[in-house]
């Protein structure tokens, strides 16, 4: 159980910089079990899977038929992959933390993230600077994602970098390209990008980050596949907009802690 002062401090950090790292948030045996299951689902190619070739970010194969074309990027629908994954997605500690942060009950989105994010040494692509909310449709931009490291994460193996304070900035549309990536060759974006930090994570560490926080990741230059489990939550009063992809599947309200 986290002390109230540690919780308040972490929430203040999330509000101020748009992300916060919580060390050892998941227990070692949970992480080990989640990792083993993720590895099995990858090995057995259990669908639904999004392939690098589908996304075609820099470094990805050109098509599923090209060399490396069956490199997975995301094991989709983590919540639906069995009780172990479902338990983590609705974990009481995650729920309690988010309830304190939102000031109301959190709801798991089953549409956004909700995946095991993989990054393979060969054919794993890099991801440019972006805000996750760019393609999401909710009544308020107040969603928070929970990124659980299932192994070490560093810049060199494709660990996430974040730009502190970017969640609260009033960027203009012209600072982004047509896919809504934050332009890295625009002089006025340079001071923002220069502030980026790449927190080093160990298995069991969690990063909570706001849906407007700019983040990016490089390819994986290590010899090992990087695996992370990512879920997104919204406060109950922040609703997916009817008729949009965000509303295409029901969310899962997190039970209040006993």
Ligand X SMILES: O=C(O)CCC(=O)C(=O)O
DSSP state of 66: S
Residue choice 79, 98, 101, 132 for contact with ligand X (CB under 6 A): 132
Reported in sequence order, the residue ranges of 26-105 that DSSP labels E, i.e. its strands, are 49-51, 72-75
Q: Is 52 in the site for ligand X (CB under 6 A)?
A: no
Number of residues that bind ligand X (CB under 6 A): 7
C-alpha 187: how far from chain center: 28
How many CB atoms sit inside 10 A of residue 36's CB?
12
Report in angstroms how near the CB of residue 8 gets to ligand X at its nearest.
Answer: 27
Task: Pull the structure tokens for residue 140.
Answer: 């308020």
**CA-based nearest residue to 143, from 108, 173, 100, 96:** 108
Residue number, 37 or 127, with CB nearest to ligand X: 127
Q: For residues 63-102, which are near ligand X according to CB under 6 A?
A: none
Query: 174 Cβ partners below 8 Å, 6+ apart?
Result: none
Alpha helices in 63-215 (DSSP H): 83-89, 92-102, 190-194
The reply on whether position 127 binds ligand X by CB under 6 A is: yes
For tokens 């995301």, name the residue: 74
Determine if 117 is a binding residue for ligand X (CB under 6 A). yes
Length of the chain: 258
CB of 126 to ligand X, least distance (A): 6
For the CB of residue 158, give the shortest distance to ligand X in the complex, in Å. Answer: 6
Using the rule CB under 6 A, which residue among 35, 81, 112, 119 binds ligand X?
119
- CB-wise, 94 or 116, nearer to ligand X? 116
Q: Which of 106, 128, 158, 204 binds ligand X (CB under 6 A)?
A: 158
| By CB under 6 A, residue 59 contacts ligand X | no
The nearer residue to ligand X, 99 or 136, going by C-beta atoms, is 136
Residues 197-226 that bind ligand X (CB under 6 A): 215, 217
Q: Which two tokens stand for residue 65?
A: 């038929």
Report residue 48: phi and psi, to 5°.
-80, 135
Spatial separation of the C-alpha atoms in residues 192 and 216, rounded to whole Å: 13
**Nearest distance in Å: CB 119, ligand X:** 5
Query: What is the closest distance, in whole angstroms, from the C-beta atom of residue 127 to ligand X in the complex?
Result: 3
Q: Is 231 in the site for ligand X (CB under 6 A)?
A: no
Residues in contact with ligand X by CB under 6 A are: 117, 119, 127, 132, 158, 215, 217
């Amino acid at each position: 159980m986290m002390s109230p002062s540690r919780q308040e401090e972490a929430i203040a950090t999330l509000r101020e910089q748009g992300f916060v790292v919580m060390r050892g948030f998941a227990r070692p045996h949970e992480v080990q079990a989640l990792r083993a299951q993720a590895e099995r689902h990858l090995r057995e190619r259990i669908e639904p899977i999004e392939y690098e070739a589908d996304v075609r970010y820099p470094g990805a194969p050109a098509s599923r038929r090209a060399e490396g074309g069956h490199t997975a990027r995301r094991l989709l629908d983590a919540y639906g992959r069995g009780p172990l994954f479902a338990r983590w997605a609705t974990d009481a500690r995650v729920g309690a933390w988010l309830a304190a942060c939102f000031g109301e009950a959190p709801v798991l989105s089953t549409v956004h993230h909700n995946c095991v994010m993989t990054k393979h040494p060969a054919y794993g692509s890099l991801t440019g600077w972006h805000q996750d909310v760019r393609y999401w449709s909710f009544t308020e931009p107040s969603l928070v994602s929970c990124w659980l490291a299932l192994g070490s994460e560093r810049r060199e193996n494709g660990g996430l970098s974040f730009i502190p304070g970017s969640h609260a900035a009033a960027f203009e549309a012209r600072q982004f390209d047509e896919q809504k990536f934050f332009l890295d060759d625009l002089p006025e974006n340079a001071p923002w990008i220069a502030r980026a930090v790449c927190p080093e994570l160990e298995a069991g560490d969690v990063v909570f980050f706001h849906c407007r926080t700019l983040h990016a990741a490089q390819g994986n230059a290590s010899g090992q596949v990087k695996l992370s489990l990512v879920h997104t939550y919204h406060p109950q009063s922040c609703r997916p907009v009817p008729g949009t992809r965000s509303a295409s599947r029901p969310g899962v309200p997190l039970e209040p802690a006993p």
